[in-house]
Amino acid sequence: MDLDTIRTFVVAADAGQFQEAAAELAVTQQAVSKRIAALERSLGVRLFTRTARGAELTIDGQAFLPHARELLRVAERAVASVHTGRRPLRVDVLASRSAQSGLMRGFHRAHPEIELDVVMLFDIETAVAALRSGAIDASFRAVAVPGRPLPEDIESVRVLDESLQLLTGPAHALAGARSVTVSQLAGHRIWMPGIVPGTEWAAYYADLVAEFGLTIEATGPNFGSDALLDTIADTPALATFMGEQTRLVWPADHGLRRIPVTDPTPVYPHSLLWHRDNPHPALATLRAHLATAAAGHGAAGTWTPGWVLPR
Amino acid sequence: MDLDTIRTFVVAADAGQFQEAAAELAVTQQAVSKRIAALERSLGVRLFTRTARGAELTIDGQAFLPHARELLRVAERAVASVHTGRRPLRVDVLASRSAQSGLMRGFHRAHPEIELDVVMLFDIETAVAALRSGAIDASFRAVAVPGRPLPEDIESVRVLDESLQLLTGPAHALAGARSVTVSQLAGHRIWMPGIVPGTEWAAYYADLVAEFGLTIEATGPNFGSDALLDTIADTPALATFMGEQTRLVWPADHGLRRIPVTDPTPVYPHSLLWHRDNPHPALATLRAHLATAAAGHGAAGTWTPGWVLPR
DNA sequence: GCCCGGCACAACCGGTGGTTGTGCACCTAG
DNA sequence: CTAGGTGCACAACCACCGGTTGTGCCGGGC
C-alpha cells in the first residue's frame, strides 16, 4: 500500500471527481483512475460509484476516508519526527519502563498538545554529545560522575530521587522480609546483568558496593528484563535491585517480591540535562513541569554517592 | 512513501540486522538494504548505523520507530474498516455536527475500546437498504414516515428528541426575541436549502408547515452550512431552523441568534435503527448505552408529526 | 592472519505506474 | 430527439522503480 495512493483517494473524495483530483495532484485523470482502481482491488471493495458528473463515495469509501486521513496525518508526523527544525521534543530516557518514563507520561498528560519522541541512549557521554549536536533536546541522567564533569554548555537539574528495592524470587532467604537494611544485604549475591563499565550507572553501583561492602555481579549478557526476572524468580541465591517506580511486566506473578531497602535507602538521582542554547519551546515547558512535579524527594535516611550534587 | 518500506524499517529495527529482516520479509538482504537506503534518502537522515554484526538505530531512527509502528497500526485499522467480518461498528448519522454525532461521541467516551466508523447516507430508504445488506450496522433516522413503514426485519427505538431553534441574522425582525412561538413564525420566510422531496426529513418539515401554516423555502442548491450561515447572517428577511444541539462552526460570530421556539416546541425525533439479525457485538453495547443516555426527553409542550411513534 | 558474517555496489530484468489516445455512458441544451 | 460536453475506463506504449544474482569491502573473533 502506497501513501501516494491514499492521498489520491482523499483528494478525489474531497473533489468529488477524478478529473479535478488529477489536476490537484499534477497527474492525468487516467493515472488517478488507475490508482483508485488499484486501491479498490487491493482492498477488495468499491470505494467510489462512478457517475456521469464525477465519482462519489460508496459506504465503504465513506468509512475508509477518515482512516485514510489519519494515515496521512500520522505519516506527516513521522516525517516531522526526523525533520530538523520544529520537530517534536526529543528526550532520552534510561529505559522504557523506568521512573523517567513515568515523569514523561505525567508531562504528556499535563501537556497533551506537545509532541514527544523518546529515545534511549547508551550513557551520559553519548547523551551529552547528542545534546550538544542537537540530536536530542533533553536527557535524564545521573550527573556529576567523578572525572566526568558536565561541560559548561550543558545545564542540569535534579528532578527525581528513586528508591531502590530488592527484587527476589519466592525461595530467596530474604523473600519473607517486610524490609531489609543495607547491612543485611552483605553476603547475598546481587545480580545486575547489563552493567557496562564506564557508564554513569556503573559508577553509581560501584560506589554503592564500595560503601556498604555489597556483592554485585554484572556477569553474563543482558537478555532483557524478561530473562532477568525469569532467572531471579527461579534462583534462590540471586536477587537484584530495581527502582521503586519501575513497571514490571509480569503476566503471571512468579512469586517475585519487591522489598524496600533501609538504613539507609539507596536512591538513584535522576537529573534532567539540556543544552544551554537549545531553543525548543517545549523544553522550557518540560523544565517548568518537572520543577513543580518533582517536589518532596531527597528525604532523610537515604543514600546517594558522594559525587551527587545536592538538590 | 511506501508502507512496505516502513514495515521493512520496523522489522529491520527489531531484528537488529538486515539479513534477518530480509529472511522474515522473504526478500534478499540487498532488497532490504536498498529499501532502507531509499527511505533514508527520502527522509534526509540516516536511520541505521551499519556495524560489522548488523545495523543499529541512530537517534533519528529511534525517534522515527514509534511513528513507523503507529503508521502500520493505522494502516491495519484502515484496511479493517472495509473488511467484512469483525470490522468497526458502522453507524449512519444525519450530519457530522448533528445531535446524533453528540450521541456517538458520548458512546465513544463511555466505550473507547469500541472501534467506530461514521457514514452519512442520503435518506432512510438508503439507510434501510444498507442495514439489510449489512453495509452499515446502525442508523439514526426519524421513522414511521407515512407510506414508508419499516420492514419487519428492521428494528428501531426512539433515542433522542431534539428541539428546533430559529437561527437568524442580527437584522432579522425576531433577532431580539428571547423566544418565539410557532404562531409568530407565520409570515416569516424560513429558508432550508437542501431539503430533498421524498426524504424523511422533508416529510417532517412538510408536516410542520401544514400544521402551523409556516413558509419554508427549499429553493436553491445546498452549498454547505458555511454558505447557509453566511446568507442567514446577511439577510434580514431570512431565518432557518437548526437543532438545539447542532454545533456551529463560526469563526467570528456574525451576530447569529439562536432563538428557542415554543407553543409548542417542534422537536425532531431521532431513532436508532438496526437489523434484527445483525450479529455485531458492539451493536448491543450501543443500544444499551443509548437506552440509558436517552432518558429525560419527550416533554410536554412539544410537537412532532402525527406519524411519529410514541416513545 | 585468516575466515566469516553482514552490508553495499553493480548489472540485469520484469513489472508497476505513468503517459497519450480513444471509446463509452450520461446529462443537458437546443 | 439529437448533438455536444463532461467525466471515467480501457488499450498501447514506455520509463523507471524495485527486485534478483553476483561480488566486493569492512570489521570482529578464533
- Fold of the domain spanning B89-96+104-154+273-298: D-Maltodextrin-Binding Protein; domain 2 (3.40.190)
What are the chain A neighbours of B51 within 8 Å (beta carbons)?
Answer: none
pLDDT of residue A292: 82
pLDDT band with cut points at 50, 70 and 90 for residue B201: confident
pLDDT of residue A139: 96
pLDDT of residue A142: 86
pLDDT of residue B251: 62
CATH of range A87-311; options 3.30.420.40, 3.30.70.20, 3.40.190.290, 3.40.50.10490: 3.40.190.290
pLDDT at position B297 over 60: no
Percent of chain B with pLDDT over 90: 52
Over residues A212-225, mean pLDDT: 77
pLDDT of residue B12: 96
Q: List, in sequence order, the alpha helices (H) in A134-199.
A: 182-185
Q: Per the structure block, which three cell numbers stand in for A165? A: 528495592
Percent of chain A with pLDDT over 90: 50
pLDDT at position A130 over 80: yes
- H or E element, residue A285: helix A281-293
Task: Tell which of B119, B133, B222 to mutate to test the A interface (max A CBs under 10 Å).
Answer: B119
- For residue B295, give every residue at least 6 positions away whose Cβ sits within 8 Å of its Cβ, in sequence order, or none: none
Where in chain A are the domains? 3-81, 87-311
**Whole-number distance in Å between B51 CA and D28 C1':** 10
What is the average pLDDT score of chain B? 88
> Could you tell me which of B120, B158, B160 has the C-alpha nearest to residue B136?
B120
pLDDT at position A145 over 80: no
Whose grid coordinates read 509480569?
Answer: A250
What is the average pLDDT score of chain A? 88
Taking every pair of Cα atoms in chain B, the longest distance, rounded to a whole number of angstroms, is 86
pLDDT band with cut points at 50, 70 and 90 for residue B272: very high
pLDDT of residue A39: 95
pLDDT at position A11 over 70: yes
My answer on whether omega of the bond before A269 falls inside 30° of 0, hence cis, is no
pLDDT of residue A301: 74
pLDDT at position A253 over 70: no
> Could you tell me which of A253, A194, A252 has the C-alpha nearest to residue A228?
A194
**The most confident of A238-247, A298-307, B6-15, B149-158, by mean pLDDT:** B6-15
- Rounded Cα distance between A23 and A28, Å, is 7
Over residues B216-221, mean pLDDT: 76
Nearest neighbour of B119 by CB, restricted to A63, A77, A119: A63
A81 to B67: CB separation less than 8 angstroms, yes or no: yes
**Whole-number distance in Å between B33 CA and C10 C1':** 14
Q: Per the structure block, which three cell numbers stand in for B81? A: 474498516
pLDDT of residue B295: 57
Of A196 and A74, more confident: A74
> Could you tell me which of B310, B287, B235, B304 has the C-alpha nearest to residue B103?
B287
pLDDT at position B88 over 80: yes
Asked if A103 and A140 count as a contact pair (C-beta separation under 8 A), the reply is: yes
What are the chain B neighbours of A130 within 8 Å (beta carbons)?
Answer: 59
B41 touches strand C (CB under 7 A): no
Asked if B120 and B96 count as a contact pair (C-beta separation under 8 A), the reply is: yes
User: Which segment of A213-227, A255-269, B165-179 scores lowest on mean pLDDT?
Assistant: A213-227
Q: Per the structure block, which three cell numbers stand in for B293? A: 443516555
Report the 10 Å Cβ neighbour count for B310. 6
pLDDT of residue B181: 92
In this predicted model, what pLDDT tens digit does every residue of B125-135 receive, in sequence order? 899 999 999 99
Nearest nucleotide over every DNA/RNA strand to the B25 CA, judged by C1':
D19
pLDDT at position B197 over 80: no
Nearest nucleotide over every DNA/RNA strand to the B40 CA, judged by C1':
C8
A74 to B70: CB separation less than 8 angstroms, yes or no: yes
Asked if B62 is an interface residue toward chain A (Cβ–Cβ < 8 A), one would say yes
In this predicted model, what pLDDT tens digit does every residue of B277-295 receive, in sequence order? 999 999 999 999 998 876 5
* Architecture in CATH of B3-81: Orthogonal Bundle (1.10)
What's the burial of A170, exposed, middle or buried (CB within 10 Å: 0-12/13-18/19+)? middle
In this predicted model, what pLDDT tens digit does every residue of B26-72 receive, in sequence order? 999 999 999 999 999 999 999 999 998 889 999 999 999 999 999 99
DSSP class of residue A45 equals: S
Geometric angle at alpha carbon B46, from B44 and B47, rounded to 5°: 115
Quick check: helix, strand or coil at residue B138?
Answer: strand
- Rounded Cα distance between A204 and A201, Å, is 5
- Fold of the domain spanning B161-266: D-Maltodextrin-Binding Protein; domain 2 (3.40.190)
What are the chain B neighbours of A136 within 8 Å (beta carbons)?
Answer: 59
Asked if B21 and B11 count as a contact pair (C-beta separation under 8 A), the reply is: yes
In this predicted model, what pLDDT tens digit does every residue of A194-208 receive, in sequence order? 777 778 888 888 888
Asked if B287 and B157 count as a contact pair (C-beta separation under 8 A), the reply is: yes
In this predicted model, what pLDDT tens digit does every residue of B151-179 receive, in sequence order? 999 999 988 888 899 999 888 999 889 99
Of A51 and B293, more confident: A51
pLDDT at position B296 over 60: no
pLDDT at position B143 over 90: no
pLDDT of residue B132: 94
pLDDT at position B311 over 60: no
Indicate the residue type of A63.
A
Whose grid coordinates read 411513534?
Answer: B309
pLDDT at position A148 over 80: no
pLDDT at position A28 over 70: yes
- Check if B89-96+104-154+273-298 and B161-266 are the same fold: yes
B31 touches strand D (CB under 7 A): yes
> Could you tell me which of A156, A107, A100 has the C-alpha nearest to residue A273?
A156
pLDDT band with cut points at 50, 70 and 90 for residue A227: confident
Q: Per the structure block, which three cell numbers stand in for B156? A: 428501531
> Could you tell me which of B30, B33, B70 has the C-alpha nearest to residue B50?
B33
**Whole-number distance in Å between B50 CA and C13 C1':** 29
Asked if A154 and A146 count as a contact pair (C-beta separation under 8 A), the reply is: no
pLDDT at position A59 over 70: yes
pLDDT of residue A9: 97
- Rounded Cα distance between A267 and A164, Å, is 6
Indicate the residue type of B305.
P
Q: Per the structure block, which three cell numbers stand in for A281? A: 519551546
Q: A270 forms bridges with which residues in the sheet?
A: A160
Q: List, in sequence order, the alpha helices (H) in B134-271.
A: 182-185, 200-212, 225-234
